Amino acid sequence: MSSQRVPIVAGNWKMNLDRKRAVELVCRLRESVLADSRVEVGVAPPFPYLSVVAESLHGSRIFVAAQNLHWEKEGACTGEVSAKMLLDVGCSHVIVGHSERRHVMGESADAVARKLDLALSVGLKPILCIGETIEERKGARTEEVVLGQLKSALKGHRAEDLQDLVLAYEPVWAIGTGLNASPEQIREVHALIRRWLAERFLSTFADAMRIQYGGSVKPANAAELLAVEGVDGALVGGASLALETFLPIVQAPRVVRA
Ligand code: PGA
């Protein structure tokens, strides 16, 4: 693990919690995340709670991410939310291409690429999710799928444009299922991604890129998974909904390095 890469742990709340529980959770999180922590920590609430969560976290070092954005800057896009609106309500990050968007909501690779472009163009830091389904893994297509998603999302970009990008390797079959990829499977895919980044851009760029792991990360497995070579933190779903389960994951990278 490069000492240059600060681990980043983000909680993706998906379509969960309510206003009261959201505020309580981040107020307690804020008290618990030490100012000198060497881990970057963030939460991704549903759209209606972004403002109140950002206000509750104002002045803390915990970032607020949206779970999605639209690729158009503004206009006649009923039901969508723009990147500028997200910045306006206090988001610094946005999750792009989550597997639930790709596979459940039918978001195409082209839509993911356009969303990534727009986020970068307005200074919203993207967390780009990539990962294979179980059929793709069983069909020995993991490499093709993961690199294909990466190629299409980063098409036309130069390394200079991508300084704020974070990647999240999330095998679709491990998300919300209680199944984890094994440390060896995770190590292999993270190394694959970093090799590709080094070939496509520069090895210094690849070395600096933070790649999270996501998929059923829990307090019980966080220390093991976050210690895997090339893993720079986690994107956490279910376990991010309560402080008791999120905090041990936030603290795991520090424990690993101690
Ligand atoms: P999970 O979700 O931790 O509940 O598996 C992870 C994610 O969707 O990012």
> For this structure, is 170 an active site residue?
yes
User: Residue 158 pLDDT > 90, yes or no?
Assistant: yes
Sign of dihedral through CA atoms 27, 83, 167, 180? positive
User: Is the CB of 66 within 6 Å of ligand 1?
Assistant: no
Percentage of the chain beyond pLDDT 70 is 96
CA angle 246, 128, 22 (to 5 degrees): 35
CB-based contact 55:22 (threshold 8 Å): no
172 ligand 1 Cβ < 6 A: no
Q: Among the options 70, 93, 98, 190, which is catalytic?
A: 98
pLDDT tens by residue, 46-74: 999 999 999 999 999 999 999 999 999 99
Told to judge if 98 belongs to the known catalytic residues of this protein, a careful annotator would answer: yes
Dump pLDDT digits (tens) for 31-50.
998 766 789 999 999 999 99
Give the Å distance between the CA of 217 and the centre of ligand 1.
7
State if residue 176 touches ligand 1 by the CB under 6 angstroms criterion. yes
Does residue 136 line the site of ligand 1, with CB under 6 A?
A: no
Residue 258 has a pLDDT of 35
| Residue minimizing CA distance to atom 6 of ligand 1 | 237
Cα 212 to Cα 38, 76, 82, 138, 168, distances in angstroms:
15, 35, 25, 23, 4
Domains of the chain: 8-257 (3.20.20.70)
Distance 58 CA to ligand 1 centre (A): 26
Closest CA to 217 of 233, 232, 236: 236
